[in-house]
Amino acid sequence: MSILLKCYFRDELSFRYLQTKKIQYLATMRGVKTLSEFIIEKQDDFKYATGELTRLLNDIVIATKIVNREVNKAGLANILGATENENIQGETQQKLDVFADQQFISALKNGGEACGIASEENDDFVAFDSEFSRNGKYVVTFDPLDGSSNIDVNVSIGTIFSIYRRKSEVGQLATEADFLQKGEKQVAAGYVVYGSSTMLVYTTGNGVNGFTLDPSIGEFCLSHPNVKVPEDGKIYSINEGNMVYCDQQVKDYIAYCKEEDAATNRPYSARYIASMVADIHRNLIKGGIFLYPATSKAPHGKLRLLYESNPMAFILEQAGGIATTGDTRILEIEPTELHQRVPTILGSKNMVKKYLSL
């Protein structure tokens, strides 16, 4: 059918239009809503609705599909393993970290809605300097590949992104101040989990929705509308190997999780994948708490505020959960550095409240 259509519609745009319509038709036949349809439908909920955020989200979606394709054939495509480089945090970059980073940069640069990006894999922010991009109203921060230690062993990994309106003047180059904004200022945030299926979960501040990639039509389809994290859960997720370096509050809380008490469903279950996207996704759906606290070895914890903790905190709060450093609501932190780390504790409301009460 595609070949016939291509012969008939020589013009590429008409052909693409028909392909999109065909995909939407297939999705409608199956009774599902595609992410593209959903984003357009929700455009008017957004106070600055002009279509630019919609286009920006679509650019991100395209990059995630390309990354998904490579993740799925990683063992065949000579894309497993490490590069010879380290990022600014002294972590060895994996080939997929670099590949994913390039895909996001290229999709956002060519899309023209973002004037710059900051990511885990770049020491400094990148200001896009074409005239087209200088007029972009947004900046994007992202962790292109989360859970890098799991890439080579076929365990779930992810991508995290966060979108802000720029503070600098439209038409100029992006500045660092555009990126150093409180998490409260996010206009959208999301993650993709490359797991047993690939899912994209995002919020624009009007609740959280989840979409599963249907590989047969290459579209994310709405599978988890209006996600709410259960108020209670029975899963705790922490790297317990670090317990010796943790403070007394963390030790007491983990001891509490392991105590026997039928009335409060304890002992809880321990689940820790070491890909925060996958750990938090599971806890979001099932109820649970995720902790990467400060330790004596890592006094600010490990997770990065701008492209790990803030986007996940925004999603968790929008789903009815809590996200805190232990002292402060994560979304209220005034960032001072692009790669700043913060202790991160988030999840089901009552579980996080219990942690804070200790």
120 vs 178 by CB, closer to Mn ion? 120
Q: Which is nearer to ligand AHG, 120 or 178 (CB)?
A: 120
CA 209 to chain centroid: 13
Amino acid found at 14: S
Characterize the bridge pairing of strands 289-292 and 269-270.
unpaired
Pattern 147-176, ligand AHG, x by CB under 6 A: xx----------------------------
Q: How far is the CB of 89 from ligand AHG (least distance, A)?
A: 8
- Encoded tokens for 342: 């913060």
Please pick, from the candidates 101, 143, 178, 317, the single residue that binds ligand AHG as defined by CB under 6 A: 143
Size of residue set near ligand AHG by CB under 6 A: 12
To Mn ion, the closest distance from the beta carbon of 241 in angstroms equals 18
Of 102 and 168, CB closest to Mn ion: 102
The option from ligand AHG, Mn ion, none interacting with 302 (CB < 5 to 8 A, set by class) reads: ligand AHG
* CA-wise closest residue to 215 among 12, 71, 119, 110: 71
* Strands 344-347 vs 289-292: parallel, antiparallel or unpaired: antiparallel
Radius of gyration of the chain from Cα atoms? Answer: 21
Under the binding rule (CB under 6 A), the answer on residue 119 touching ligand AHG is no
User: Taking CB under 6 A as the criterion, which residues in 219-278 touch ligand AHG?
Assistant: 239, 274-276
- By CB under 6 A, residue 317 contacts ligand AHG: no
Contacts of residue 133, defined as CB under 8 A and 6 or more positions apart, other chains included, come to 109, 112, 114, 115, 116
Rank residues 120 and 219 by Cβ distance to Mn ion and give the closer one. 120
Interface with ligand AHG (CB under 6 A), residue from 65, 95, 282, 302 = 302
Contact between 158 and 191 (Cβ < 8 Å)? yes
Ranges of beta strands (E only) in 8-50 are none
Question: Taking Cα atoms as reference points, which of 223, 159, 208 lies closest to residue 319?
Answer: 208
- Interface residues with ligand AHG (CB under 6 A) are 91, 120, 143, 146-148, 239, 274-276, 292, 302
